[in-house]
């Protein structure tokens, strides 16, 4: 369907979380380890980049550009994928530029990416400018969308769902819970699951109000349908998003995020991150405590990575 490179460590494992299950006294918990996909510390973007980088190479690109926050996991992995494929990489990051580069930003530099700083309101304009400048200087640039979230990135998670389905064989879980932000991961999994089928998929919004994120996920599904000619029958109501855990916004860690990071680490030896999976973990734990998931159900937490973020200067004192 879409051209693909192969650099992800797949299939990622599915593990039980017996101590966390016991501690929370709720449904049986499992985890899908997409924090172990490889490519400079792994994460959900590795799967998307196998397709996005293949598209860039097919178009003859010698430079990829993308954008994100200063501590973007997507940008770190894009820089790694570009290095792996022998392409240049320019990242347009939302500043301010910190005095000391730590964690993902440190890795962006190590991986050889060129960094342009911008602010949120100028992000898209500055990305376009970097693209135009590259063209003018004779480069062949390729734009990797924000979060790797378009129909191509979603296709990677459509395939990831097929991987899970095969691994679980007939023993499917009742729910999948994941961190959702630019929506491509949730869109791909939703397409894979299809309409009215088990498992139910809940995206824990990292920062967006539920209706915005639902719309974003659904528009990626629509793009996917147009591009592939495949009809999903999904409606916007099928996209389940919970925005109860967005707190004070993107990247602002709160006590629930912190507790989730500690519970996963101390009980299962699993590292969540301060921005995405810590927040999704906080949602999962709270929904269990509230009795949203029934004790006889099985819930799979799809770990989407981000662990280098734990070492960012701004979070170290709070974790
Ligand atoms: C660690 C991690 N988890 C989850 C997400 C959200 O994935 P998506 O942007 O596909 O919604 C991201 C996005 O950057 C991420 O870095």
Residues 187 and 235 in one domain: yes
Is 276 among the domain residues? Answer: yes
Best of 33, 36, 43, 215 for a ligand 1 pocket test (most atoms within 8 Å of beta carbon): 43
Residues 166 and 289 in one domain: yes
Angle between helix 151-168 and helix 184-193 axes, rounded to 10 deg: 50
Is 270 among the domain residues? Answer: yes
Please answer whether residues 246 and 282 qualify as being in contact, where contact means their C-beta atoms are separated by less than 8 angstroms: no
- Rounded-to-integer distance, Cα 92 and Cα 127, Å: 6
Residues 18 and 51 in one domain: no
Is 4 among the domain residues? Answer: no
Is 24 among the domain residues? Answer: yes
Best of 12, 45, 241 for a ligand 1 pocket test (most atoms within 8 Å of beta carbon): 45
Q: 26 phi and psi, to 5 degrees? A: -125, -140
Mean pLDDT of the chain: 97
Please answer whether residues 84 and 113 qualify as being in contact, where contact means their C-beta atoms are separated by less than 8 angstroms: no
Residue 1 is predicted with a pLDDT of 85
Is 5 among the domain residues? Answer: no
Residues 218 and 228 in one domain: yes
Residues 191 and 121 in one domain: no
Residue 170 is predicted with a pLDDT of 83
- Rounded-to-integer distance, Cα 52 and Cα 90, Å: 15
Q: Tell the residue nearest (CA) to atom 9 of ligand 1.
A: 182
- Rounded-to-integer distance, Cα 74 and Cα 285, Å: 26
- Rounded-to-integer distance, Cα 123 and Cα 37, Å: 29
Is 3 among the domain residues? Answer: no
Ligand 1 atom showing the smallest separation from residue 203 Cα: 11
Residues 111 and 221 in one domain: no
Ligand 1 atom showing the smallest separation from residue 157 Cα: 10
Is 182 catalytic? The answer is: no
Q: Map tokens 């980088």 to a residue.
A: 53
Question: 304 CA distance to ligand 1 centroid (A)?
Answer: 6
Question: 39 CA distance to ligand 1 centroid (A)?
Answer: 15
Of 66, 72, 102, 205, catalytic: 72
Q: Domain range spanning residue 265?
A: 14-43+154-311
Question: 135 CA distance to ligand 1 centroid (A)?
Answer: 29
Return the number of other C-beta atoms located less than 10 Å from residue 255's C-beta: 10
Residues 267 and 290 in one domain: yes
Residue 24 is predicted with a pLDDT of 98
Residue 230 is predicted with a pLDDT of 94
Is 110 among the domain residues? Answer: yes
CATH number, domain containing residue 272: 3.40.50.1100
Residue 167 is predicted with a pLDDT of 97
CA distances to 59, 75, 149, 274, 303 from 79, rounded to whole Å, are 18, 6, 16, 21, 21
Residues with a CB atom less than 6 Å from ligand 1: 43-44, 73-74, 147, 149, 179-186, 273, 276-277, 304-306
Domain boundary among 148, 176, 196: 148
Question: 1 CA distance to ligand 1 centroid (A)?
Answer: 24
Residues 294 and 201 in one domain: yes
Residues 256 and 183 in one domain: yes
Is 317 among the domain residues? Answer: no
Give the dihedral sign, CA 201/202/207/213.
Answer: positive
Residues 192 and 281 in one domain: yes
The total number of structural domains that make up the chain: 2
Domain boundary among 94, 125, 148: 148
Residue 73 is predicted with a pLDDT of 98
Residues 171 and 247 in one domain: yes
- Rounded-to-integer distance, Cα 124 and Cα 92, Å: 9
Task: List, for the chain, all residue ranges whose pLDDT scores fall below the cut of 70.
Answer: none
Q: 246 phi and psi, to 5 degrees? A: -75, -15
Q: 154 phi and psi, to 5 degrees? A: -65, -35
Residue 169 is predicted with a pLDDT of 87
Best of 145, 147, 217 for a ligand 1 pocket test (most atoms within 8 Å of beta carbon): 147
Ligand 1 atom showing the smallest separation from residue 185 Cα: 10
Domain boundary among 94, 122, 148: 148
Residues 21 and 159 in one domain: yes
């Amino acid at each position: 369907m879409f051209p693909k490179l192969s650099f992800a460590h797949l299939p990622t494992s599915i593990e039980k979380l017996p101590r966390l299950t016991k501690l929370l006294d709720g449904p049986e918990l499992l985890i899908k380890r997409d924090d172990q996909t490889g490519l400079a510390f792994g994460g959900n973007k590795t799967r998307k980049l196998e397709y996005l980088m293949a598209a860039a190479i097919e178009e003859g690109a010698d430079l990829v550009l993308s954008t994100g926050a200063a501590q973007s996991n997507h940008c770190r992995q894009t820089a790694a994928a570009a290095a792996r494929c022998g392409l240049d990489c320019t990242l347009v990051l939302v500043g301010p530029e910190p005095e000391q580069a730590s964690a993902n930003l440190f890795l962006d530099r190590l991986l050889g990416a060129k960094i342009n700083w911008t602010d949120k309101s100028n992000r898209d304009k500055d990305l376009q400018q970097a693209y135009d400048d590259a063209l003018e200087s004779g480069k062949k640039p390729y734009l990797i969308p924000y979060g790797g979230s378009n129909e191509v990135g979603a296709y990677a998670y459509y395939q990831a769902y097929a991987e899970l389905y095969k691994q679980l064989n007939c023993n499917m879980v009742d729910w999948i819970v994941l961190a959702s932000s630019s929506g491509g991961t949730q869109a791909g999994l939703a397409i894979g699951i299809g309409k009215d089928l088990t498992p139910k998929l809940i995206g824990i919004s990292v920062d967006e109000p539920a209706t915005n994120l639902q719309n974003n996920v659904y528009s990626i599904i629509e793009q996917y349908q147009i591009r592939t000619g495949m009809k999903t029958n999904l409606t916007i109501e099928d996209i389940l998003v919970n925005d109860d855990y967005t707190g004070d916004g993107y990247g602002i860690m709160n006590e629930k995020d912190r507790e989730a990071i500690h519970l996963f680490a101390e009980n299962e030896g699993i590292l969540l991150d301060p921005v995405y999976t810590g927040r999704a973990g906080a949602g999962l734990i709270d929904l269990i405590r509230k009795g949203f998931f029934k004790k006889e159900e099985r819930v799979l937490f799809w770990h989407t990575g981000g662990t280098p973020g734990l070492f960012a200067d701004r979070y170290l004192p709070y974790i």
